Amino acid sequence: MLSPGAVAVAARADQRGRKNAYTRGLLLPEIASIQQQATLLLPSPPFRPEDTAIVNCHGKEIRVRLTKLVENTGSFAQFQFAPLGEVDKPGKRRTAATPQDFDDIWEIL
């Protein structure tokens, strides 16, 4: 089932050392009433279950593991996913996370 609150994202396969092109996708939020977790709707050919992908949502890049294939039409596939953390940008110094760093994540979800 598709969620009414879908968010447009860009996604690419996470192959270390290679910069693959982004493809378009949708982040579908959780639907609690039918106990459906948040899912990603992505083009089918480059993405498969257990792949790692980089998802760009509002300029924030997050590495995810595609954990379960929910549905596949041949053109698009819907995956459950597990976030693996934010992608490190070259030259960007990491600092300890503060509670304010997570305030905007609720708007995305």
Which residue in 44, 42, 45 sits closest to 64, CA to CA?
Answer: 42
What is the SS3 assignment for 76?
Answer: strand
Whether residue 86 is predicted with pLDDT greater than 90 in this model: the reply is no
Stretch 57-67: mean pLDDT: 91
- Residue 93 has a pLDDT of 53
Q: Tens of pLDDT along 2-54?
A: 667 889 999 998 876 677 889 999 999 888 888 888 899 999 888 889 999 99
Q: Using CA of residue 85, residue 12, residue 9, residue 71, what is the dihedral sign?
A: negative
- Residue 91 has a pLDDT of 56
